[in-house]
Amino acid sequence: MTKIMVVDDDVETTKVLEQILSLAGYEPVSVNNSAIAVQVAGLVHPDLFLLDLMMPEIDGFKLCRMLRQEPEFIHTPIVIVTALGDSDSKVVAYGAGANDYITKPYLPHELVLKIREIITNRELYDFDDPD
């Protein structure tokens, strides 16, 4: 089963995402503390990350960069799910290594379709992979 790690400091948001992902046939793993997200990711080995940007301690931009520095997660898709819809935030997120960007509020079926697209076409997102 495809494992998706959700990192968001808002517990209610992670509960909603867990329900959406479970109903779509994915195995969600949630972390509400961005400071331990890389450590938890190393234990659960997710197939895709959903990251919020606005979090205390380590924001989503920095967390995205941290994940990309880990050899295990260089090619793991990262989707930003955030209320920040400005173009500057999008540019910084993509520059930090995000593969896609979804603005809240989103429609659950659109989020699931985006995740399916990314997982199905994962090789297209491995920009640095020479194979």
- Provide mean pLDDT across the span 40-48: 97
- DSSP SS3 for 53: coil
CATH of domain 3-125: 3.40.50.2300
What are the φ/ψ torsions at residue 49 (nearest 5 degrees)? -115, 140
In the predicted model, is pLDDT for residue 131 greater than 70? no
Q: Two tokens at 109?
A: 């079926």
Q: Give the count of beta carbons closer than 10 Å to the beta carbon of residue 19.
A: 12
> With contact defined as beta carbons under 8 Å apart, do 59 and 20 qualify?
no
**Mean pLDDT confidence for 64-85:** 96
The rounded distance, in Å, linking the Cα atoms of 3 and 45 is 8
Sorted by sequence, the CB contacts under 8 Å of residue 83 that are 6+ apart come out as 54, 103, 104
The string of pLDDT tens digits covering residues 96-127 is 999 999 999 999 999 999 999 999 887 665 54
Averaged pLDDT score across all residues of the chain: 93
Whether the CA torsion 26, 30, 34, 35 is positive or negative: it is negative
The pTM assigned to this predicted structure is 0.91
Tokens linked to 81: 């799910």
Using CA atoms, how far apart are residues 24 and 36, in angstroms rounded to an integer? 26
Partners of 4 in the β-ladder? 28, 48
Write down the domain spans for the chain: 3-125
pLDDT score, position 124: 61
Residue 79 predicted with pLDDT over 90: yes
Spell out the residues 6+ positions from residue 124 whose beta carbon is closer than 8 angstroms to its own.
Answer: none
